[in-house]
Structure 1
Amino acid sequence: MTQSAWSRDGQPVDATAIPSGEWDNLKRNSQLGDFIMPCCKAPAVLKTSINNIPFFAHHANECDTAPETIWHKDGKAAVLAALNSMGIPGREEVQGCSPDGDKWVADVIFSVFDRTIVIELQRSYQHLRDFKRRQERYIASGVECYWLVRKKTFMTLGKATSRLLLKREFGNVYPPGGIGTGMLPELPVAMLDTEAEQLVQFGMFKTAPVKVWLAGILDGAYQYRGGTWNLG
């Protein structure tokens, strides 16, 4: 199940942005193929959970796409659908290059006024140095980059960033007030759950829908505070 899908004409759709009455009408009147699952392009059906949460599900058999690919595709679809509901066109898998010739491929990229923003989705393990290298490449290109990872990746990364933060900022002496989640100010990373309500988890395990998280990036509410990236 997912709360994001593609329409027949290739537009990202966010189920949570559709009023309940309109969702019920779509459930009754949509035809097979009107909506497509992002993970495998199979026909999607519209459903509502017992908690009254709208979502898309596979029409027939479960998807046999690799779990990592499912998370990545569902995550990109969630970001693109949220942007679409905000009236912001987003693009996926866009290539770019830094002034030094260092190439990159953005998972999702969009522009608002004079800002170019990339959302990178990383499910599998990646060393801290690779996070930092890729982040620096975007900075050199004049691009803001924000990361979404799954919980296991966030916890593993947090161990490395906490050690670095503690050494760099506090001389390896743990401060009385703690260091939050131990993330770095130069590396904005949050967790993404692609199941159920597709929530972004950040800070001290606070959550927000993808659309609210993106709005926080745009209006400056999503900031680094005391070892934690959080919405103000």
Structure 2
Amino acid sequence: MTAFLGDRSLLAPMLSPGDWANLKEHRPRPVLSCGETAIVKTSQLGTQFFAHKVLCEPGHKGETKEHLRVKAAVVEAAAALGWTARAEVRAPDGSWIADVLVEKAGRQVAFEVQISSQDAERYRERQARYERDGIECFWLTARASTEHLPGVPVLRVDPHAEELALSVRSRASTEIPLATFVDAVLEGPLRWAPTPPATVTGTIRWGLHVCDACDMRSIVWDVDPSRKISCDRCALWASGAELAPSAAPAAAAARLGAAEPLAVWRERLPGVPSTFECPQCDAEVPPTELWWLYRYRASDRCATRTVALDATLTEPHWCEPSRGLHGAHDVVEHLAGRRDRPRQIVLQETGDLDVLRRDAAQLHAMRAREAQAAAEQQEREEAFRRERAERLRLFEGAQPVATPEQLGLPPLTSPKPTTPHERTAAIDAYVVAHPGLDTDDVRRLFPRFTATCDCHDCAEILATYRDDERRILFRPKSRGSVVPRRR
């Protein structure tokens, strides 16, 4: 791309067709940077370039017509924007040779055109050399895809296309003109951030809870499980390491003027909300009472505190102030105008202390009403069970039974039983007084109840009978009843 004629530097793509034709006839001929005579040529793709008349040592070979074409397009695009563009620029220490180096107002940007094959490690190694010298570097490659080159700002270019355009992979649905990309890098806000500074934050949601046992008001909280790492220049962010669930919002509460003490945080098991205790009476605060705190959504009952944590560096990435670009695909879509502006999540401290206190009192009153309603309902159910049991007892006591005289058995020595407890004692007394009686005959003398008594005395009596005798004499009518166990 570059040759010298006396003290004048010649950049082949920037010469007009007329000047280029005149240069072919000019004597003496231009000289290359290596000192050899340059031949003025035009490639089959229409690119103006200089070639060696005689190859120099060691192996300063010429470049392919595809490589020359892409380089020339970058030079022309940069020059059209008012930048000083040079080709084949060597580092002072010889550690790199930039295909195209453009400069303006102290800023240096290198463009590397990689037509031949090169592995990912070599890309990163060469990129690191430019970063070490404070030079921004962007890569244009002819490989089929750039998706396997993380950590390097690279886009694909097809040097054989009629119009040079950039994409992420071959046959991609979205392409952008090469000049558009050069303009975005040089004149626009698009940058490659190798080690961008970032802010690390975490979110704590907190509110006020009134203890149901002692009416003490205290601060309870919940922690968003992930830290947020945000680039200080663009909208890119990522989740970081877990924030300790015990991190308390004391500072945020103090700034709002909250005089309430913090609740006693106990623990948080995986997948389970935190457990708290009242700081005054040690009563446990069930997580079910803090449903409003664990929703992770905007709520009038919650305040949000952004916790600034230790600063760190995010991964290298494409950086654009109003966008979150996660890769080369996002860059192409953005420059093609197909990427919408993302919804930017802004962490901020919110909350109104008066609202928090009002809501805490309302929730406390609501729980009191629910507890009172539950107690009244339980009392109604107990009264209904007692009434039903009494009706059943009276009904069963009124049922007719056979008399001993009708069955030809000895007379009863005790009154007719009216409860399961009396029935158990009466059967035992009758069997003891008249040993050897058949259990089926004894059963016919005593009314059947739908339950058995499970008191200690009845259990002791039942333990003296065999299983078949207990089944015949004492088994209740209802299958749901429980036969007493010996205590």
* TM-score normalised according to structure 1 size: 0.57
Q: Output one character per residue of 1:68-121: Cα deviation in whole Å (capped at 9) or x when no partner.
A: 711111111111111122221210111115xxx671111100113232110001
Give distance in 1, aligned partners of 2:87 and 2:47.
22
Equivalent of residue 148 in structure 1, options 131, 137, 140: 140
Alignment pair present for 1:83 and 2:78: yes
Equivalent of residue 118 in structure 2, options 119, 126, 137: 126
Q: Partner residue of 2:89?
A: 94
- Which is richer in strand? 1
Q: Partner residue of 2:41?
A: 42
Structure 1 residues 73 and 129: alpha-carbon distance in aligned structure 2, compared to 1, 3 A threshold: same
Structure 1 residues 87 and 140: alpha-carbon distance in aligned structure 2, compared to 1, 3 A threshold: same
Q: Partner residue of 1:213?
A: 181
Q: Secondary structure at the match of 2:70?
A: helix
Give distance in 2, aligned partners of 1:94 and 1:57.
19
Structure whose CA Rg is larger: 2
- Asked if 2 retains the 8 angstrom alpha-carbon contact of 1:200 and 1:208, the reply is yes
Structure 1 residues 134 and 41: alpha-carbon distance in aligned structure 2, compared to 1, 3 A threshold: same
**Which amino acid in structure 1 is aligned with residue 133 of structure 2?**
S
CA drift of 1:141 comes to: 0.6
Q: RMSD across aligned C-alpha pairs, in angstroms?
A: 3.7
Alignment pair present for 1:226 and 2:192: no
**Which amino acid in structure 1 is aligned with residue 85 of structure 2?**
G
Give distance in 2, aligned partners of 1:207 and 1:103.
33
Q: Partner residue of 1:187?
A: 152
Q: Partner residue of 1:117?
A: 109
1:3-18 matches, cutoff 5 A: 10=11, 12-13=13-14
**Which amino acid in structure 1 is aligned with residue 13 of structure 2?**
P
Give distance in 1, aligned partners of 2:118 and 2:43.
32
Give distance in 1, aligned partners of 2:21 and 2:328.
42
- Asked if 1 retains the 8 angstrom alpha-carbon contact of 2:13 and 2:47, the reply is no
**Which amino acid in structure 2 is aligned with residue 199 of structure 1?**
A
Alignment pair present for 1:69 and 2:64: yes
Give distance in 1, aligned partners of 2:97 and 2:135.
12
1:152-167 matches, cutoff 5 A: 153-155=143-145, 158=147, 161=148
- Identical-residue share of aligned pairs (%): 23
Q: Secondary structure at the match of 1:129?
A: helix
Alignment pair present for 1:139 and 2:134: no
Give distance in 2, aligned partners of 1:123 and 1:12.
19
**Which amino acid in structure 2 is aligned with residue 88 of structure 1?**
W
CA drift of 1:211 comes to: 1.7
Q: Which region of structure 1 is more displaced relative to structure 2, 121-130 or 218-227?
A: 218-227
CA drift of 1:57 comes to: 7.8
Give distance in 1, aligned partners of 2:94 and 2:19.
46
Give distance in 2, aligned partners of 1:113 and 1:135.
22
Structure 1 residues 35 and 127: alpha-carbon distance in aligned structure 2, compared to 1, 3 A threshold: same
**Which amino acid in structure 1 is aligned with residue 129 of structure 2?**
R
Q: Partner residue of 1:23?
A: none
